[in-house]
Amino acid sequence: VSVPTLSKACGYDQVDYLRSRGEYYLSINGIRMDDAFLICKALESYFKNGCFTCDANVESWTTIGEKYCDQDFTSFVDVKCSTISVDSLKQGERKLLLQSSENVTNLSQGIKLDLSDEEKKEYTSSEPQNIPLAIPGMLLLCCGVLCPCFHAKRKEKSEHSVLDRELKSVDLNSSLELSSVSEKIPATPRVPPSPSRFSSSPQLSRIGSVHLSINQIIRATHNFSNSVKLGEGGFGTVYKAVLPDGQVVAIKRAKKEQISSLRDEFSNEVELLAKIEHNNLVRLLGYTDKGNERIIITEYVPNGTLREHLDGLYGKILDFSQRVEIAIDVAHALTYLHLYAEKTIIHRDVKSSNILLTESYRAKVSDFGFARSGLSDTDQTHISTKVKGTAGYLDPEYLRTYQLTPKSDVFSFGILLIEIISGRRPVDLKKNADERITVRWAFKKHSEGNVQDILDPLLEEKVDDEIVGMMLDLAFDCAAPTRSSRPAMKEVGEQLWEIRKRYGKILRGMSGSLHQ
């Protein structure tokens, strides 16, 4: 049976397979699946209706059908398309990832579900609004990569309620580790070995200027009291603490239940923070790694996150000049990491909730949980590694190839820049379909010449079209789909300086004419 080209009758639903905080789950159109049933029905209908094209990684889907739905769909596949074997699973998984990253630029890709509403209800969670990864096109990893846990889910229904509770606490802004599939992709020969782990390293125990025992930390945080809690992220909870000498610090305590899976993240953060010293990067002061506790002590940054300010949570709205300064600070921090640290460091999780502000609204980049160092060889161009990051900020080329370079941070920075200009989150599911992906919406508005529509409506001042245009041009360059089209972070900083200069001139011109 040959596979016809995709017909309109096939329609699309979005199938995502994602991992968050160490847990895997599957969603279709943003609705979490509690059982393999739906995805198997979907595959069956898609194969039977000839909905796959040759380039749709059909062999991977077939392998999934075979392995996880106990169904053989191979007879539906045109021999010209592919050679199918269960042994090709690994290759298939890789291709599925490729397919999923294509979804980054094609929202409508997916498979069709021929199911009644009753069937959908029966097999899905009753609270779809809590699903963190119903992120159209952004974090798609289609069902092929889910499989080990998918099976487990089938068998271990009793664990669903635990998983449900976990998922409900996740939100769109959380950092994520995407799928286990990339772990199976061998690293390139030039990849340096993982950094040594922290636990027993005598060197690491000397890191930082603050050395506290666990009892001292307990005292400083009033036994990790909610009254001194600053916030919570994927790694754990952050507390404000005053040390006996009066120094105010932030204490980040890993979640107990996640400690084993966070081992790398913790050591990454400690090792990397320890090596860097820059005004626009949050400073590591110390750490504790005893028994079941992983605790990082960093400089306390008193004025909340950039995201909170864009949301207007502090009353006063950031004006445009402050936003440009913040963008410059972040660009400087990233340039330092990319170019001037001992080794190239790629942050991997540049986003507005990881930008902390000082009282004078200067920015400090925090959260090095996902950061990677490497690229010490002069001719090494990338690190092959797992895809990690946050929905909406993830470099599509990294998603597709697993090749991490400093340009992945540049991509995230481009998305951040649009967020700074517009005030909108990179993905906003509450918006109409054509506005949900902010970068696309902004690009469309920009190409129609409506740059003022993109500007944050909370801004009180008028900003010249020329300046908004310059910022947007830079943002789109940074968020180019291929890394070769993106500028280096240093150049981004220089361009922002030019914009700042030009904006200053315009402002001075305006105030001059007001005084005349």
> Which of the ranges 217-225, 296-304, 425-433, 462-470 carries the binding residues for ligand ATP, by CB under 6 A?
296-304
Cα angle 55, 60, 64; round to 5: 145
Alpha helices by DSSP H, 381-454: 396-401, 406-422, 438-447, 451-454
- Give the contact letters, 253-282, x = binds to ligand ATP (CB under 6 A), - = no: -----------------------------x
- Which CB sits closer to ligand ATP, 330 or 470? 330
* 234 binding ligand ATP? (CB under 6 A): yes
CB 195, CB 271: distance < 8 Å: yes
User: Among positive and negative, which fits the CA dihedral 322, 417, 132, 153?
Assistant: negative
Residues near 421 by beta carbon (within 8 Å), at least 6 away in sequence: 323, 442, 454, 455, 456, 468, 471, 472, 475
- Which CB sits closer to ligand ATP, 99 or 305? 305
> Which of the ranges 45-53, 60-68, 295-303, 466-474 carries the binding residues for ligand ATP, by CB under 6 A?
295-303
The residue within the footprint of ligand ATP, chosen from 46, 61, 68, 235 (CB under 6 A), is 235
The residue within the footprint of ligand ATP, chosen from 172, 301, 363, 468 (CB under 6 A), is 301
Q: How far apart are CA 149 and CA 166, in angstroms?
A: 15
- Which CB sits closer to ligand ATP, 336 or 441? 336
Report CA dihedral (335, 339, 340, 341) to the nearest 10 degrees. 100
- Which CB sits closer to ligand ATP, 153 or 386? 386
Task: Take residue 56 and report the two structure tokens written for it.
Answer: 């749709």
Q: Name the minimum Å distance from CB 274 to ligand ATP.
A: 15
- Catalytic annotation on 428? no
The active-site residue out of 16, 34, 349, 367 is 349
* 288 binding ligand ATP? (CB under 6 A): no
* 353 binding ligand ATP? (CB under 6 A): yes
**Order of all β-strands in the sheet with 248-254:** 229-232, 236-242, 248-254, 293-299, 284-290
Q: How far apart are CA 316 and CA 310, in angstroms?
A: 10
* 492 binding ligand ATP? (CB under 6 A): no
Q: Count Cβ atoms below 10 Å from residue 360 Cβ, excluding itself.
A: 8
CB 276, CB 368: distance < 8 Å: no
Q: Give the gyration radius of the chain's Cα atoms.
A: 24
- Give the contact letters, 201-230, x = binds to ligand ATP (CB under 6 A), - = no: -----------------------------x
* 374 binding ligand ATP? (CB under 6 A): no
User: Among positive and negative, which fits the CA dihedral 333, 336, 339, 341?
Assistant: negative
Task: Name the residue with tokens 């379909």.
Answer: 433
- Give the contact letters, 160-179, x = binds to ligand ATP (CB under 6 A), - = no: --------------xx----
- Which CB sits closer to ligand ATP, 225 or 450? 225
Task: State the catalytic residues.
Answer: 349
**Which residues are near ligand ATP by CB under 6 A?**
174-175, 230-235, 238, 250, 252, 282, 298-301, 305, 349, 353-354, 356, 366-367
